[in-house]
Amino acid sequence: MKKTLVSLLSLLALSSLFTLSSCQKEATGDGTQFRATMEDCTSQDGKTVLNGTALNWVDGDQIAVYGRSGRGLYSATPGTPATTAVFDNVSGRTGKGPYRAFYPSTITSDGVNITLPSVQFSEDGSLSGFPMYAECNNDQLSFKNLCGVIKVHLQKTGVNVSSIEVTASSDINGVYSIRNNGVPTITLESNGSNTTELVCTTPQSISNGADFYIYLPHGNYSSMTFTIKDEDGNVCTKSSKTGVSIYITRSQFTTINFSDNDLVFVEDLPRIEVDLDPTNPMIACILNETADTAYIFGTKDNSGRPLKVSNVLIKEHDKAINTDIFFDTLERPIEIWASNGVIMQLNWLDNESAALALIDPASGEQLNTIAYFNSNNTADGAKGGNGNAGTARTDSTILTVRPMFPESGNANGLSKDGPYITGPKTGDFWVNQCGVPTDAQCWIDVYDHSNMTGSYGYGKFRTRIPVNTKIGTGHYSYYIPNGIMTHHNIDLDDYCDVIANVMGKVCFVNELMSAGGCAAISVALAFAGVTAVSAPGFFLACERITVALDVVCAFFTDVPGSTGTSIADGICGLLRNKKIAWNTPLYLSPVVCAIPQNIKGLPVVYDGEHGLPDLNVSWGGTPRITDFTLNPPAPLAYVGYDAVANLYCLPAGTIITMSIVGTDGYSNSKTYTVGDEVHYVATLYVPGSYAGVRDVCTVRLDMPDGSSLSRTAQLYFH
């Protein structure tokens, strides 16, 4: 039953408000057909609510009627709306009266008690399923309202409301008994709850003001809280004034108004959102109570189920720099960028140990050691020092410098896995430095074009797209996920365990750090002799990484809605069965991974419909040492290694110097003067020494203008 307009006022449909005339005793009933009329609802001041409209039955309204022979289901005759409607039998037989009738037909299962649901639904501002009850001995049913209605009026420009949750000072839904002394009253019997949610089947705009109707049992409520959610998952919480009760009266409306200044929407926290688009590498977005956010990226199968983790991006609300963790194909962390700027690289030697390199971009220092992720081996594996004297090194170092010749194949990447990308649109991604095409590790960060207060000065962060299909030197192909304009949450039963299994790999990193990573750093620093500038940063990096990972791992246990303390319980407790969609244009921000900080090209707006724009990252003439690696990073005794430096944008005449100093007394140095090329790879071969020796390698650039640039790296022979 819905209201229809009878004046110039344009109000949305109200289904299920109705009244009936009293029983006509001269009529008889055989249970095949009933005639019903409705009871008016009024506002608290006694005037008829919804001035200028009439409340009517509508075609399809159904009632349940109980008589001497049982239960019958009846449907309003086609041709309604009208204030009085004829209901024809659809199923079941009641026989003769007396009769007990219920609207909606689903509100009772026994013909005695009713159930007020915890979730109500609204379509275009209507009120569906408003509970009604009638008793009669004939076919003339006089329905009476069982509840009152709270009308929430909202107005705020640019907001579409998806739901309103009411939390009251006492129970407002559950199983109720009915007592009828001419005017029916209801009493809670069991399964009571003090929270009821109104869900809009289609998000409703409140830009010009809109009314939302929620039916509640009669009562005097000392407090009420309204949790209003928009279609993007943001939430606004409003509470009634302290000491001011809210009265809900049977068959009357109580109006609550919230306008622009009252409504401030923030992200609904904590929350997990899961994306099912198989072309989108983002598996999930996790937000905690303080607006820290973790984005989980990886690979999926054709149905969108996650398979592996490849990257985790953690944005802490109080940190200017993010924590970035990259995984290999075995889902082991291979590079971590801490929020204090220190970079941690792990080269796995076996399942329980890894060569660990810490890079301080600010000072240019690098520490290499071995981390055993087993507490029994940590101290022995990490220590350095002079060790036991052995055969002295006599072989000379060998320096090789070559230009970076164009290469074919895939772009170098921190994760070897690529997402399932059949079908998405593709575009061109160009990288150059000093005007020369340049290969690089790169990706695209995707943001909303709206809400310009978001991360990096763009809108809300949406996903990260790897750029790993190489066409030629400095030229790549990129794609945009098919479903980038729509974000999905998932059915808990189908995906919860799958998501939990994949995300649990993230907490594995935290376990590694506590099992040996941080201890290895502490012991190695004691022997390494790194400067006072770098050492505190290396210590802090471990602490920062652990704190950031706690942001993610905290969601896996002890969260609202969870039934236990397992990873699956924690995630399932936060997932919501809904869809969040947006239609704003997107910002595509191209990024090149570089030390000491990533390089960003100009963002480009993409409307989601036309061909993808070209993306470019180009930077000028500042010389850079983008990588300085030692290979192998933790050599065995008497095994030589290569110190490899990638050098960009070098002016002609630049002198490259690579040197090594060992704690066994060995030292050597080589130089090379570059020509007309601008990008070079310099490799210094260093002969091996006995176990316990620490080598400090340095690469230095001396430019013709008198400026210089250097990086150092350390390792131990084991």
* Residues 270 and 575: beta-carbon distance below 8 Å: no
Q: DSSP label at 78?
A: B
Q: Give me the residues paired with residue 162 across strands.
A: none
Note the pLDDT of residue 562: 45
- The stretch 563-577 carries a mean pLDDT of 56
The Cα–Cα gap between 324 and 259 comes to 41
The predicted pLDDT at position 568 comes to 57
Res 411: pLDDT: 42
pLDDT (0 to 100) of residue 27: 43
Query: Please, which residues have CB within 8 angstroms of residue 261's CB and are 6 or more apart in sequence?
Result: none
Burial (0-12, 13-18, 19+ Cβ within 10 Å), 703: middle
Decide the pairing of beta strands 365-372 and 343-350: unpaired
Lowest mean pLDDT among 168-172, 254-258, 549-553: 549-553
If we measure between CA atoms, which residue out of 709, 339, 688, 248 comes closest to residue 542? 339
Which of 26-30, 38-42, 304-308, 360-364 is predicted most confidently?
Answer: 304-308
Matching residue, tokens 């000065």: 457
Q: What mean pLDDT is predicted for residues 266-281?
A: 75
Mean local confidence (pLDDT), 350-354: 80
Residue pair 70/56 in contact (Cβ under 8 Å)? The answer is no
Helix (H) or strand (E) holding 521: helix 518-528
Region of residue 412 (left: phi > 0; alpha: psi -120 to 50; beta: else): beta
Q: What are phi and psi of 567, to 5 degrees?
A: -60, -45
Q: What is the DSSP letter of 29?
A: -
Give every CB contact of residue 170 below 8 A, 6+ residues apart in sequence: 194, 219, 221
Beta strand 62-67 with 99-103 is antiparallel
Model confidence at 534, pLDDT cuts 50, 70, 90, reads low
Within 8 A by CB and 6+ apart from 511, the residues are none
Please check the confidence at residue 13 and state whether its pLDDT lies above 50.
no
What's 269's DSSP letter? S
Alpha-carbon span 567 to 426, nearest angstrom: 37
pLDDT of 686 reads: 95
pLDDT value at 314 more than 50: yes
Tokens of 645: 């430096």
**H or E stretch including 549?**
helix 534-553
**What does R_g of the chain's alpha carbons equal in angstroms?**
35
d(CA 20, CA 1): 13
- The H or E element that residue 548 is part of is helix 534-553
Question: Checking phi first, is residue 92 left (phi over 0); if not, alpha (psi -120 to 50) or beta?
Answer: left
Rounded mean pLDDT, 291-299: 84
Nearest in space to 62 (alpha carbons), one of 29, 97, 22, 89: 89
Q: Higher pLDDT residue, 560 or 132?
A: 132
**pLDDT score for 17:** 34
What span, in angstroms and rounded, lies between the C-alpha atoms of 643 and 713? Answer: 9
d(C-alpha 334, C-alpha 572), whole Å: 29
For residue 240, give the DSSP letter: P
pLDDT of residue 428: 94
pLDDT-wise least confident of 349-358, 391-400, 570-579, 607-616: 570-579
Cα gap 56→137, rounded to integer Å: 24
Which residue did the predictor score with more confidence, 376 or 239? Answer: 239
Residue 547 CA to residue 295 CA, distance in Å, equals 16
pLDDT tens digit string along 149-196? 998 999 888 888 888 999 998 999 999 999 988 889 999 998 888 889
Q: pLDDT tens digits, residue range 99-140? A: 999 998 889 988 999 999 888 888 776 777 889 999 988 889
Residues 354 and 373 sit within 8 Å (Cβ to Cβ) = yes
Question: What are the chain's domains?
Answer: 2-266 (no CATH), 383-406+622-716 (2.60.40.10), 425-488+581-619 (2.60.40.1120)
Phi–psi pair at 294, nearest 5 degrees = -125, 130
> What three-state secondary structure class fits 391?
coil
Answer with the residue of higher pLDDT: 15 or 78.
78
Specify the pTM. Answer: 0.60
Residue 149 contacts residue 131 (beta carbons within 8 Å): no
Quote the CA–CA distance of 42 and 282 in Å, as a whole number.
51
Q: What is the rounded average pLDDT for all residues in the chain?
A: 77
Burial of 378 per CB tally in 10 Å (0-12, 13-18, 19+)? buried
Question: For residue 35, what are the β-bridge partners?
Answer: 86, 140
Q: Which two tokens stand for residue 218?
A: 């009669």
What is the rounded average pLDDT of the residues 383-391?
Answer: 52
d(CA 718, CA 385) in angstroms, rounded, equals: 11
714 Rama class: left (phi>0) / alpha (psi -120 to 50) / beta: beta
Which pLDDT score is estimated for 407?
Answer: 47
CA 29 to CA 95: how far, in whole Å?
8
CA 276/CA 481 separation, integer angstroms = 11
Task: Decide which of 497 and 341 is more confident.
Answer: 341
Residues 484-488: what's their mean pLDDT?
59
**7 pLDDT exceeds 60?**
no
Please report the pLDDT score of residue 279 as a whole number.
86
Q: Give the pLDDT confidence score for residue 486 in this predicted structure.
A: 57
| Average pLDDT of the residues in 634-639 | 88
